[in-house]
Structure 1
Amino acid sequence: MKYKKIWISAVCLLFLILHTSAQERYITTSGKINFFSKATLEDITADNDKVSSIIDATTGDMAIKISIKNFEFKKKLMQEHFNENYLESDIYPTAMFKGNILNFNTMDENSKEFTVKGKITIHGVTKAIEIKANCIKTADFIKVSGNFMVALEDFKIKIPKIVFMKIAENIKVTFNFNHKPYKK
């Protein structure tokens, strides 16, 4: 009977340890995203350095939340048009990504290219996406960076004909996240 209680206690303790370590998370609320539109008449760029992201360090699951209104442009009128006419940020205030860094368990302190696969939601439209990202993992941080192209028509973002020569149909998105261990 005594050994049964010790065994049950040991199993419970092991479960508690595994459950706690299984929830090892790395987060950032200051991730950076830039987009760049190269068009015939004008290049447009915007930065957002208030992007939230979380990584489950046991599974490689990753989630990103982007407040659309936090994109900053050099020209305020561009920012206004971006929010009101194109991304309609009052209706669709955030963009999201939920997915997984494949082969996450092989990540270490040496920068390597990993495949990130999941679903991205922009302008109320969700699409499957698979991109390459450079990743580094230490006990103190997980860095994830890279870039990919977004086709505006895939997310039902319409470009009025009057400004067609000023806005590219495909936008380059560059990202850089420096996740730190989450402490409760």
Structure 2
Amino acid sequence: MRQLTLLLAIFFLSSTHVLAQERFFTRTGHIWFFSDAPLEDIEAHNRKAASILDVGTGDMVFSVPMKEFEFRKSLMQTHFNENYVESDKYPKATFKGKVINIQVVDLEKDAAYEVRVKGVLHIHGQDKSIDTVGILEVKAGRLFGKSTFTVTPQEFGIKIPRLVRNNIARQIDITVDVVYEPLTENSLQLW
């Protein structure tokens, strides 16, 4: 939690924009991943992703607690946390990036806008550059964000034992689905 607070403080101090309607946040972002493997599909959901988006600059940060991913089978969750992502050693994943074409988003007009997001995803002590497209939808003063991209365990130094290699797909689809609320000084106190 201390690292999240530090990350958010750096984000706020590095920006010179007014706090009003340019910044949006969530603490309940939904992130899930899906692995289509020959023996068994693996899917896990996490509804505790924190994120801030500055629509003035396009700056975006995410913090995702790894132990909050919930699996269909408890044994999968145990293996995920203990053997693969080592959640005690690497308790969170982070993303720090930018919506490259943020200027297409008109906060005054309810509509869906295709955006391009670039940044660095940090999982299991490893960094990977991400360049993907997504949708930001303005609706009734809120922002709805959605994107899907693909990663591999190897990109993050996650080793898959030979015994279970066929149980885990070589590529994993990650989906991000968030509802951003306007960030105010009062909501900052909640962090």
| TM range, smaller chain | 0.7 to 0.9
| Larger radius of gyration between Structure 1 and Structure 2 | 1
What per-residue deviation string (whole Å, max 9, x for no partner) do you get for residues 137-179 of structure 1?
3571122102010111111111000001111121010110110
> Which residue does 1:55 correspond to in 2?
53
* Matched residue type, 1:124: G
Aligned length: 167
> Which residue does 2:3 correspond to in 1?
none
What's the C-alpha RMSD, in Å, of the aligned pairs? 1.6
For 2:138 and 2:59, the matched residues in 1 are separated by 14
What per-residue deviation string (whole Å, max 9, x for no partner) do you get for residues 52-94 of structure 1?
0100121110001000000000111100000000000000000
**Large movers: runs of 4+ above 3 Å:** 21-24
How many angstroms does 1:22 deviate by?
Answer: 7.6
Contact 2:93 2:122 in 1 (8 A): yes
Query: SS state of the match for residue 165, structure 1?
Result: helix
For 1:28 and 1:22, the matched residues in 2 are separated by 15
Alignment of 1:107-118 (within 5 A): 107-108=105-106, 109-118=110-119
For 2:140 and 2:103, the matched residues in 1 are separated by 13
> 95, 101, 114: which one pairs with 1:97?
95
For 1:153 and 1:24, the matched residues in 2 are separated by 37
* Matched residue type, 2:98: N
> Which residue does 1:33 correspond to in 2?
31
Contact 1:120 1:129 in 2 (8 A): yes
For 1:19 and 1:160, the matched residues in 2 are separated by 48
Query: SS state of the match for residue 121, structure 1?
Result: strand
Contact 1:37 1:172 in 2 (8 A): yes
Contact 1:101 1:116 in 2 (8 A): yes
Stretches of structure 1 lacking an aligned partner (at least 5 in a row): 1-17
How many angstroms does 1:41 deviate by?
Answer: 0.4
For 2:134 and 2:69, the matched residues in 1 are separated by 22
> 5, 22, 25: which one pairs with 1:24?
22
Seq. identity, %: 44
1:163 paired with 2:174, answer no
Contact 1:146 1:176 in 2 (8 A): yes
* Matched residue type, 2:134: A
